[in-house]
Amino acid sequence: MFKAPRGTVDILPEEQAHWRYVSQTVERLCRLYGYERIDTPIFEEAALFTRGVGEVTDIVSKEMYVFEDRGGGVLALRPEGTASACRAYIQHGMHARSQPVRVYYLEPIFRYDRPQAGRQRQFWQFGVEAIGESDPSIDAEVVEMCWRLYEELGLTGLTLQLNSIGCPICRPRYIEALREYYSDKLDLVCRDCRDRFEKNPLRLLDCKNEQCQPFIAKAPITLDYLGVECSEPFEALRGYLKALSIPYELNPRLVRGLDYYTKTVFEVVPQEEGGQSTIGAGGRYDSLIEVLGGRPTPGIGFATGIERIILNLKRQEVAVPEAAPPQVFVAFQEEAREAAIALAGRLRRSGISATAATAGRSLRSQMRQADALGALYTAIIGREELNSDTVMLKRMNDGTEERIASNDVASFLANR
RNA sequence: GUGGGCGUAGCCGAGCGGUUAAGGCACCAGGUUGUGGCCCUGGAGACCGAGGGUUCGAAUCCCUCCGUCCACCCCA
């Protein structure tokens, strides 16, 4: 038997209410903030990500789906959304538009990772990008929008964490200080941290190992090393967030896994700590466009995982709107089969949703079906109705019946 | 990529060396030859994740693989 590939899932009809709820909320939010949708290809030249996201990041070095196409080009299923959006910005000369360019996407993302709860190989992200403006008021707008999304969805108990990791000028100074601090402690920290010291020193800060905690607590923090170019906008951002009444926690240990982040970084996590808990995250990427071959252009955005949102909606038992049931279920006896099919067709042309029974079932069975579908009304056509050109219209919630001329059914229901 | 738990019908789940492999939900039919939701009766549905091995005998024990879950790595 064929099964969906490891780490992928089918989103079944009964789950669509949650998906619809999230995508409709996302669309409303974007309209509210003036972000327009952009759709980019599901695959890109692999080099876009190796250069943009960073060759040594896990996402690129061990999680990317890379393949060669028949023309010999090396392509990759996108492992994140920002690089593609920036590529499109450059390719289509969007610097010529009014800045910043505000776009959003809702798209599948692919990472060859070991699946577990809240982590799949194909998953969906909603993300926004504001490209072409470095003013911290845009940082505030993006952070606010991210926070607001969860509010609109009805999620509670979330924490917004904020930090600044500096720019290409001040960050090396910080990393040097961090390395120096750790240089005489390498015998005391865990194995992973010794690796991190070499490969990705910022990651030292969010090690979960018990033995490393005391060292993390006393480690130098990024905020103390920011140059004025970074600290001033960060202070401004904090002021804006206060003015917007967005509750945030300053987390000096917050770092991000992608190379392109600069200055503002933030993350939203549910209260209950779990393995794969981060629900959304973002930050500024002021060097990315230039790295990708564009003129120097600042940008900021965030992305959030739809599956993780839905996981939390379900955990918190947030009620989501159900799919509308058919207004009418058309049940019939064999001799009225054509009349029933015709009636269903006429109702639909009048904008009334109708599902017809299929032939060969008892009326009782058809009624059970109508009930299972949650139909508001059942129109029954038997011999008597056929002869008098009427239908027996039954209201399912209270069982009342009324005989109505076939031609009047649509207008009768339209007035309900 | 590392370590561990688990895989019995569509779903939940008992059985843990010899059973016709429980039970519940869902599904289908009937109890009402023109009527749903409750109830009752019946039916269908499982090569017990796959492959190999041990044994007279394996869903039950062992190995490999696959899947899933948890933790780590990392991340949405």
Q: What is the CATH number of the domain that holds A141?
A: 3.30.930.10
Same domain, A122 and A256: yes
Name the DSSP letter for residue A260. T
Same domain, A336 and A308: no
In angstroms, the CA A128 to CA A145 distance is 9
The answer to whether residue A236 is domain-embedded is: yes
Structure-block tokens of residue A10:
């089918």
Q: What is the pLDDT of residue A331?
A: 97
Alpha helices in A200-255 (DSSP H): 213-218, 228-243
In angstroms, the CA A35 to CA A191 distance is 44
Q: What is the pLDDT of residue A275?
A: 58
State yes or no: pLDDT of A210 exceeds 90: no
The answer to whether residue A191 is domain-embedded is: no
Handedness of CA A282, A286, A290, A291 (dihedral sign): negative
The answer to whether residue A7 is domain-embedded is: no
Read off the pLDDT of each residue in A192-201 and give the average, rounded to a whole number: 83
CB A270 within 8 A of CB A66: no
Residue A58 CB lies within 7 Å of the nucleic strand B = yes
Same domain, A139 and A244: yes
Distance from CA(A156) to C1'(B23), angstroms, rounded: 40
Residue A131: band (very low, low, confident or very high) from pLDDT cuts 50, 70, 90: very high
User: Which residues of A spanning 117-146 put their CB closer than 7 angstroms to strand B?
Assistant: 117-120, 123, 125
Read off the pLDDT of each residue in A130-146 and give the average, rounded to a whole number: 98
Per-residue burial over A236-250, b if 16 or more Cβ lie within 10 Å, else e, is: ebbebbeeeebebee
Tell me which residue range forms the domain holding A99. Answer: 13-169+227-315
Q: What is the pLDDT of residue A387?
A: 94
Does residue A100 have a cis bond before it (omega within 30 degrees)?
Answer: yes
Same domain, A106 and A149: yes
Same domain, A158 and A270: yes
CA atoms within 13 A on the CB side of A378: 25
State yes or no: pLDDT of A3 exceeds 90: no
CA atoms within 13 A on the CB side of A261: 21
A162 dihedral zone (left: phi>0; alpha: psi -120 to 50; beta)? beta
Residue A208 CB lies within 7 Å of the nucleic strand B = yes
User: Which residues of A spanning 272-301 put their CB closer than 7 angstroms to strand B?
Assistant: 274-281
pLDDT tens digits for range A9-49: 999 998 999 999 999 999 999 999 999 999 999 999 999 99
State yes or no: pLDDT of A229 exceeds 80: yes
Task: Show which of A271, A291, A315 is a domain's final residue.
Answer: A315
In angstroms, the CA A337 to CA A331 distance is 9
Task: Show which of A284, A315, A346 is a domain's final residue.
Answer: A315
Read off the pLDDT of each residue in A238-248 and give the average, rounded to a whole number: 97
In angstroms, the CA A400 to CA A381 distance is 16
Q: Which of A104, A87, A10, A16 is nearest to A46 (CA)?
A: A87
The answer to whether residue A205 is domain-embedded is: no
Same domain, A150 and A280: yes
Same domain, A261 and A338: no
The answer to whether residue A186 is domain-embedded is: no
DSSP output for A53-73: T-TTSHHHHTS--EEE-TTS-
Residue A367 CB lies within 7 Å of the nucleic strand B = yes
Q: What is the pLDDT of residue A185?
A: 86
Same domain, A282 and A404: no
The answer to whether residue A302 is domain-embedded is: yes
Mean pLDDT of chain A: 92
The answer to whether residue A203 is domain-embedded is: no
A289 dihedral zone (left: phi>0; alpha: psi -120 to 50; beta)? alpha
pLDDT tens digits for range A270-302: 976 555 689 999 999 999 999 999 999 999 999
Same domain, A18 and A99: yes
User: Which residues of A spanning 141-160 put their CB closer than 7 angstroms to strand B?
Assistant: none
Same domain, A37 and A106: yes
A63, closest nucleotide (Cα–C1'): B74
A193, closest nucleotide (Cα–C1'): B73
Q: What is the ipTM of this complex?
A: 0.88
Task: Show which of A282, A315, A348 is a domain's final residue.
Answer: A315
> Which positions ≥6 away from A359 have C-beta within 8 Å?
A334, A337
The answer to whether residue A373 is domain-embedded is: yes
Q: Which of A61, A130, A52, A163 is nearest to A301 (CA)?
A: A130
Same domain, A127 and A164: yes
Residue A194 CB lies within 7 Å of the nucleic strand B = no
Name the DSSP letter for residue A406. G
CB A414 within 8 A of CB A376: no
Structure-block tokens of residue A355:
């599902």
Same domain, A234 and A346: no
Q: What is the pLDDT of residue A61?
A: 83
Angle, alpha carbons A355-A360-A361 (nearest 5°): 70
Q: Which nucleotides of B are covered by protein (CB under 7 A)?
A: 1-2, 26-37, 66-76
In angstroms, the CA A347 to CA A351 distance is 6
Tally of structural domains, chain A = 2
pLDDT tens digits for range A382-410: 999 999 999 999 999 999 999 999 999 99
Structure-block tokens of residue A345:
């067709």
CATH number of the domain to which A332 belongs: 3.40.50.800
Handedness of CA A249, A262, A46, A90 (dihedral sign): positive
